[in-house]
């Protein structure tokens, strides 16, 4: 007779639990960051700032606001597909991964505009 101990179920870390409880809010954060990045980029360009991303620079030169929105919507689409593919334990981190770069870009846009 061998003794076996039951393996306790794995639990999410505190960060993952927080993200799972607030996933809708995290998606709202990502969308707010998207909007802020677009608006601040447009304003910065009107004030004389220059887009550093060569792909975005080309899209903005050709299509301006519509192009910026289209680029962001492609990113949202990729994130939505990714959300379906990522295991639920980690899925709530998808909007964080989507929104953080846009929030950082919006912050950099503020600094750039302030320095013009």
Whole-structure pTM value = 0.83
Residue 57 confidence class, pLDDT cut points 50, 70, 90: very high
Contact 94, 79 (CB under 8 A): yes
Query: If you ran DSSP here, which 8-state letter would residue 53 be given?
Result: -
For the stretch 63-85, pLDDT in tens is: 999 999 999 999 999 999 999 99
- List, in order, residues 6 or more apart from 71 with CB less than 8 Å away: 55, 56, 59
Q: How far is CA 111 from CA 40, 91, 104, 116, in A?
A: 10, 32, 11, 9
Residue 89 confidence class, pLDDT cut points 50, 70, 90: confident
Residue 38 confidence class, pLDDT cut points 50, 70, 90: very high
């Amino acid at each position: 007779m061998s003794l076996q101990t039951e393996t306790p179920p794995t639990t999410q870390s505190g960060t993952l639990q927080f993200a799972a409880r607030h996933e809708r809010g995290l998606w709202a954060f990502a969308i707010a960051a998207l909007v802020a990045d677009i608006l601040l980029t447009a304003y910065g360009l009107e004030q004389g700032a220059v887009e550093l991303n060569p792909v975005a620079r080309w899209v903005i030169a050709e299509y301006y606001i519509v192009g910026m929105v289209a680029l962001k919507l492609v990113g949202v689409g990729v994130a939505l597909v990714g959300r379906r593919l990522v295991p639920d334990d980690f899925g709530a981190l998808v909007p964080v991964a989507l929104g953080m770069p846009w929030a950082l870009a919006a912050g950099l846009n503020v600094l750039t505009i302030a320095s013009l």
